[in-house]
Amino acid sequence: MIRRRLWVLALASAWWIRSASFVGPARGVHGHPSGPGLARAVELEVEVEVGAKEEPKEAKAVVEEVLAGVSVAFSLLSKALACSAIVGTGPLVGLWSCVALGLASIAGMRPGVVAGSAAVVVVPLGGFVAQNGAHGLALVPLVVTLAALLQLCAGVLGLARAVDLVSKEVLAGFLNALGLALLVSQLGAMATPQAAGLALICAALTQLLPSAPVPSSLVGLAVACGVGVALHFDVPTLAEKAKDPVAFAGGLAALPHFQLPQLPSIDDISIALPCAVSIAFIALLETLLAARVVDDRKCEELCTFFYDESGELVITPDGEAAPVDVPTSTVLSLAAGNGLSVLFGGFGGCGLVPQTVLNLNSGGGGPISVGSYAVSMVLFAVVLAPIVGQISVPALAGIMVAVSLDTMQFGPTRDAFKAAIANEDARMRFGVLVATAVLCYQVDFAVGIVSGVLLDRATSPGGIFANTQEAR
């Protein structure tokens, strides 16, 4: 009887040990894994450790994206107020235009691109209002609506592929002109020694400090504002720039009013259409170029088109066609943002290269940073308005000074110049860069870009100038 029990106990022990080697790690001396279960135990521990390391990294990336959006929102505050003043609307209209475009950007715009109130849009609108008076101001929603419809048609027809015509020389020339124009536009905010000092403090900290974990632009803005308050500098604030005592009062009164556009007459359409065409064209150009800037900075090719041996367009290098390419979805998103802006009384905008550069430099680059930027704008207007109104304008100008320096293509321009000294073909490429920059800065950005593309095509192999050179 005892012997039978011993046999049963031995068989049960053997079965348990065999099962344990498959089900879980066998326990050796002092309870540590041993035998076949050891490898699996080590694998489980490694997986846990890797997962524990990945979660903080993901959380850190989210925090960086959110802070990048906040930094972009601060940089656009002064610009949004200035755009509102140019058009002749209320001071917060430009801010709500930024919100509308930011929300629409999440849906389909190239990740990383920041869209909002833009000088290239409001300057033609301001001229339109000045030319037509009060009636012109009433027609601003119609102008923006027509521009949004034109952008929608451009997206549906696939005209976004025209961005493939913009070479790296044309893009560099455009960015050089844009950076210089942005730098010059900030000089007015640095007219006094005190204002210039605050701007330089903010710009220096933005350039020199690391972008993580807190964007250097936010640190620079906080330090510059703190220095101004501590030393009692007499510099203008955002509330003073708005010239409206209730602009930064906050509360529900700051929310925009939903309004449907009225059915226009033929005469109104004929008046508004020329301005709408101009706005739609330049807005498309700057938005697509902002997308190209993100591609270059992130070493991606989302906005690059590829062609097969027969010259047929394919969306991806491996030939797999996508339903909607990124440039087209970017244009459609821009049209939706401008249309949404009209519904909330705004005047639209486009993709912004300087703010896109700031977003990337601050650790952004995805939809989270753009969403954070839009939400921050809402909080600035409704909840934090009294505090935001006390931010000094020169400190914000310092951020834009740093952004202008990052926008200008010093390295590519220097390399193109060095290559032009020794090579005649490179000399022609450098000429395209210089001509684009001069025309963009001195004449108009749309004129400069189109002229640069035409000149680039003429000097490329098979072009008019190239054939003339070969004949010589």
Judgement on whether residues 455 and 339 belong to the same structural domain of the protein: no
Q: How many structural domains are present in the chain?
A: 2
Judgement on whether residues 191 and 265 belong to the same structural domain of the protein: yes
- Lowest average pLDDT, out of 251-255, 361-365, 411-415, 417-421, goes to 251-255
Q: Considering 408, 437, 455, which residue would you say is the last residue of a domain?
A: 408
Judgement on whether residues 90 and 234 belong to the same structural domain of the protein: yes
* Residue 286 buriedness (CB in 10 A; 0-12 / 13-18 / 19+): buried
Confidence band for 196, pLDDT divided at 50, 70 and 90: very high
Judgement on whether residues 391 and 416 belong to the same structural domain of the protein: no
Confidence band for 58, pLDDT divided at 50, 70 and 90: confident
Judgement on whether residues 207 and 256 belong to the same structural domain of the protein: yes
Confidence band for 55, pLDDT divided at 50, 70 and 90: low
Residue 418 falls inside a structural domain: yes
- In the numeric block, the tokens 């850190």 are attached to 60
Cα separation, 148 vs 272, in Å, equals: 13
From 419, 458, 403, 418, select the one nearest 436 (Cα to Cα).
458
Judgement on whether residues 183 and 199 belong to the same structural domain of the protein: yes
Judgement on whether residues 460 and 327 belong to the same structural domain of the protein: no
* Residue 259 buriedness (CB in 10 A; 0-12 / 13-18 / 19+): exposed
- Lowest average pLDDT, out of 137-146, 159-168, 346-355, goes to 159-168
- Taking 60 as the threshold, does the pLDDT of residue 193 lie above it? yes
From 247, 283, 237, select the one nearest 96 (Cα to Cα).
247
Judgement on whether residues 338 and 426 belong to the same structural domain of the protein: no
- For 454, the domain range is 410-467
pLDDT at 34: 47
Q: In the numeric block, which tokens belong to residue 357?
A: 């550069």
- Lowest average pLDDT, out of 116-120, 423-427, 468-472, goes to 468-472
For 205-239, write each residue's pLDDT tens digit.
999 988 777 889 999 999 999 999 999 999 999 88
Query: Can you give the pTM of this predicted structure?
Result: 0.77
Judgement on whether residues 138 and 73 belong to the same structural domain of the protein: yes
Q: Considering 408, 431, 459, which residue would you say is the last residue of a domain?
A: 408
Question: Under 8 Å CB-to-CB from 398, ≥6 apart: which residues?
Answer: 198, 199, 200, 201, 202, 203, 206, 220, 221, 224
Judgement on whether residues 291 and 417 belong to the same structural domain of the protein: no
For 142-169, write each residue's pLDDT tens digit.
999 999 999 999 999 988 887 778 888 9
- Lowest average pLDDT, out of 184-188, 249-253, 290-294, goes to 249-253
Judgement on whether residues 383 and 445 belong to the same structural domain of the protein: no
3-state secondary structure (DSSP) of residue 325: coil
Is the backbone of residue 223 left (phi > 0), alpha (psi -120 to 50) or beta?
A: alpha
